Structure 1
């Protein structure tokens, strides 16, 4: 596994070593010992989630608050997405930094997002199966979010805004300054 640091402290892009031959391929999608030795982090994952989205679906920017915050390890099993993390930890040296990367079934890359970051993605392919591990259980009362088009971040979602498919709930999320007092 190759690990690439990003502009957000403790946020990493992971690239597996793929073993291919005429039968197909094999790779480790996760190895706790390798992850710990390459990052110095020791997440303990307790929940796996999966979603299916069609082209243009934008989900985010979401986070869990306080003791319910979640670190996530994200990958795409089928299709392609633009995956986005935003550091919203008020005391972080990288507060407000944005990391975006394309995750796909072709490149098999993953993104590790630490606790205290907002997360979102948009589907770039016709459909995408999106998988992620969490190190804390979901808690509805601790749900938070930031509007996807907050001018603080100027995220290029790679799809024209008029073609985005966004839930009413996500369209009504607040800006960073209302969501995360700092």
Structure 2
């Protein structure tokens, strides 16, 4: 929404501060750079994609919807289903996440992207692309940071890849409706 400077600062600084606050200070320098670059990529690509014509936008929306479905359904089903335990306020809460949930969420996101892309805002496909590419940079960035700076063995760092892909996917699920809502409230889009 605020352009590359806002995307860089909000992505990098906000996330690095969260690492510090949540007790992960060893990640804060990497997060500052990695999430800052991610914010820049998303903002930059979103502004570049705005220059496409309506036919190109519809194609981008279709491809983006397919990619989004694959990410949500594929990653969710593969890595985020089954029994889990959350620790909250000193208590353990156990529950089961059915694999079908991820296909339903993927289908809902796909329908939402196509609906927005064809009926409301054809540029939503470009936003999806931008968020996905920014998310891939984040995944690669954390892997590199863990191996090169934190000196994790590559196989250990690779264990974080599904978690970071999940983080990027959840970011996509949250960012699309949130930015649309903020825009309808009158926020100006920087290019």
TM-score, length-scaled by structure 2 = 0.24
The answer to which structure has the higher helix fraction is: 2
Structure number with greater Rg is 2
The answer to which structure has the higher strand fraction is: 1
TM-score, length-scaled by structure 1 = 0.25
